[in-house]
Structure 1
Amino acid sequence: MAIRLITDGGADLPESILANRNITIIPLNVMINDITYKSGVELTSEKFYRLMKENETLPKTSSPSPNDFYEAYKNIDENEDVIVIALSSALSSTFESATIGRGMLLEEQPNRNISIVDAKTASVGQAVLVHKACKLIDEGLATADIVSKLNETVSTLNTKFVLDTLENVIKGGRLDKVRGAVASVLNIKLLMEATEDGKVDVVEKVRGTKKALKRLIEQIGECTSNFEEKTLIVAHSNCADRAADVMQKIKEQYPFKELLLAELGPVIGTYAGEGGIVIAYE
């Protein structure tokens, strides 16, 4: 049985994954200056960061509609199973839209097999799950077994990040205003992570970007092992040189099987602002 993967605009996928796979990406909506764009379709990362600089108002994001998923499902051959890896249900209603859209299609095609995984993370956290799903498909596993292994991975996945500015994440309601304001004034950088229930929380507070990134890298060794069997993905928000430096330091310290690079797209970039670094690994 052929299997088609679907994810959404909250995932930041490395080009190496996109280039070799037929992955359907359901865009989220990003509104800038009263104009709504489909992330990754009508709004590239380059255009997004330029527009964000030009506008004082924080962009707004919204989830795809159930109909967006319904249409995507319907356009896939009925003989293909579908696995959806959706942005954390604690951060977005995208998972809910995917589920409702599945119900809409099953009313017409009750024999379709569509499985939806709540990633309980975003960005390169989703990308790690997509990458793993691709590997499991290549190994010939059945759909139910792949979904089971993905849900196991969700429970052990680490998605951690350091932001250069807290302005966007505060305005976007993802960080308490008081904590954020104090950190900004004191040049304290917050090491943050996706929690087990798919929310965002502060792990540590470090003064200065350099020390924060050093601590971000140190945490890898504290959180995981068996590096030779695993993939780590780094993403950046319009700071390619910083990301390259972080990747080099990770490579020097940990023998990951694969080390991949991505760029934060418009959805996660809305909250990260420029200068952010996100990493994800099992």
Structure 2
Amino acid sequence: MNNVKIICDSLSDIPKDLIEKYDIDVVPLTVILNDKEYRDGIDISNDEFYRILREENAHPKTSQATYAQFKEFFEKYVNEGREVLYIAGSSVATGTYQSAVMAKNDLEGTIHTFDSASFSFGIGILVVKAGELAKEGKSIDEILSTIEKMKKEVFVLFSVDTLEYLQKGGRISSTKAAIGSILNIKPILEIKNGLVAPICQVRGKKNVISKIIELLKEHCGNDLSDQIAYVGYSDDLKEKEKLAEAVRENLNPKDIVFFQIGTCVGTHSGPGGTGIICLKNNI
């Protein structure tokens, strides 16, 4: 058994096979849909969530993970004599990180909280690396040092198919959303300083992928043969495959791993979104 226990929250959108492989515990946030509460990743499938968004014109909300949840998770492993490393979603965008810090401060034992300053598999890529290192028997200090360096290299790039959910979540104004919809503008966004930020925009969905490839080359280099590219999707499987194929043809990654954008992140991005996560260390 690894002495270091890795914990994350459900904003990390880590595929189940990787969660099991590295024995990662996931603290669920809550999504509120049609006045019902669901634990992200537990009580409702991602596919069902996106189906409801498309068919019922529903507008979900999210609720952060709580102090009580973190206390329960942390206490379990501290009582086993293990060290705990919790890797959080961006602290400036959700109060979940603060809930974890409060729980940590009320417990004895070695508990580290780490702010990924990211969302979705931008968190997950750090969690998986931490899980790999923990499985190898690395110390908590060695793990923290590695993911602190890696955090600066993570490049998250994504596009949404509709501006409606960004507007409902307060990420853009209703005026911008209305104009963008009329002009068929598709924003391409990045994670910057812990928040979603526009990097550019294109007219029409057919121009999204070519622009993403251009931006990847600019920020990560022309050759990704020494790293895995992580392609994210909500419910548009055709667009997912198109993006993966363009990445293979233009950037030659060592491998491509897919992850589905979960309900909490999907609450703000909506159906039809796609994205990619790579490291900036090739430039």
- TM-score (norm. length: structure 2): 0.92
2:257 matches 1:256: no
The amino acid that maps onto 1:51 is I
Using the TM superposition, give the Cα deviation of residue 45 of structure 1 relative to its aligned residue in structure 2, in angstroms.
0.7
Q: Distance in 2 between matches of 1:50 and 1:57?
A: 10
2:264 to 262, 267, 272: 267
Using the TM superposition, give the Cα deviation of residue 185 of structure 1 relative to its aligned residue in structure 2, in angstroms.
1.1
Using the TM superposition, give the Cα deviation of residue 131 of structure 1 relative to its aligned residue in structure 2, in angstroms.
2.0
SS in 2 for 1:153: helix
Using the TM superposition, give the Cα deviation of residue 139 of structure 1 relative to its aligned residue in structure 2, in angstroms.
4.1
Aligned-residue CA RMSD (Å): 1.7
The amino acid that maps onto 1:14 is P
Q: Distance in 1 between matches of 2:115 and 2:18?
A: 20
Matched pairs, number: 276
Asked if 2 retains the 8 angstrom alpha-carbon contact of 1:193 and 1:200, the reply is yes
Asked if 1 retains the 8 angstrom alpha-carbon contact of 2:233 and 2:272, the reply is yes
Match of 1:82 in 2: 84
Using the TM superposition, give the Cα deviation of residue 16 of structure 1 relative to its aligned residue in structure 2, in angstroms.
3.8
The amino acid that maps onto 1:153 is M
The amino acid that maps onto 1:95 is Y
The amino acid that maps onto 2:89 is L
Q: Distance in 1 between matches of 2:44 and 2:143?
A: 32
Note the alpha carbon deviations across 1:15-53, whole angstroms, 9 max, x for none. 441341211111111111111111111111122122323
Note the alpha carbon deviations across 1:190-242, whole angstroms, 9 max, x for none. 111100x1011111111111211211122111111462332221111111221
Q: Distance in 2 between matches of 1:132 and 1:230?
A: 13
Note the alpha carbon deviations across 1:80-132, whole angstroms, 9 max, x for none. 2111111111211111111111112x2xxx2x211111111111111111122
Match of 1:189 in 2: 186
SS in 2 for 1:141: coil
Query: Matched residues, percent identical?
Result: 29
1:168 to 155, 161, 165: 165
1:200 to 196, 199, 202: 196
Q: Distance in 2 between matches of 1:163 and 1:92?
A: 20
Note the alpha carbon deviations across 1:237-270, whole angstroms, 9 max, x for none. 1112211121121112223233210111111111
2:236 matches 1:239: yes
Note the alpha carbon deviations across 1:153-187, whole angstroms, 9 max, x for none. 22221111111111011111122333232221101
2:28 matches 1:31: no
- TM-score (norm. length: structure 1): 0.92
**Which segment drifts farther, 38-47 or 58-67?**
38-47
2:37 matches 1:41: no
Match of 1:212 in 2: 208
Using the TM superposition, give the Cα deviation of residue 54 of structure 1 relative to its aligned residue in structure 2, in angstroms.
4.1
Match of 2:3 in 1: 2
Q: Distance in 2 between matches of 1:151 and 1:243?
A: 29
Which stretches in structure 2 are left out of the alignment for 5+ residues? none
The amino acid that maps onto 2:70 is F
Q: Distance in 2 between matches of 1:138 and 1:152?
A: 19
Asked if 1 retains the 8 angstrom alpha-carbon contact of 2:19 and 2:25, the reply is no
Q: Distance in 2 between matches of 1:168 and 1:8?
A: 22
Asked if 1 retains the 8 angstrom alpha-carbon contact of 2:157 and 2:188, the reply is yes
Q: Distance in 1 between matches of 2:272 and 2:58?
A: 18
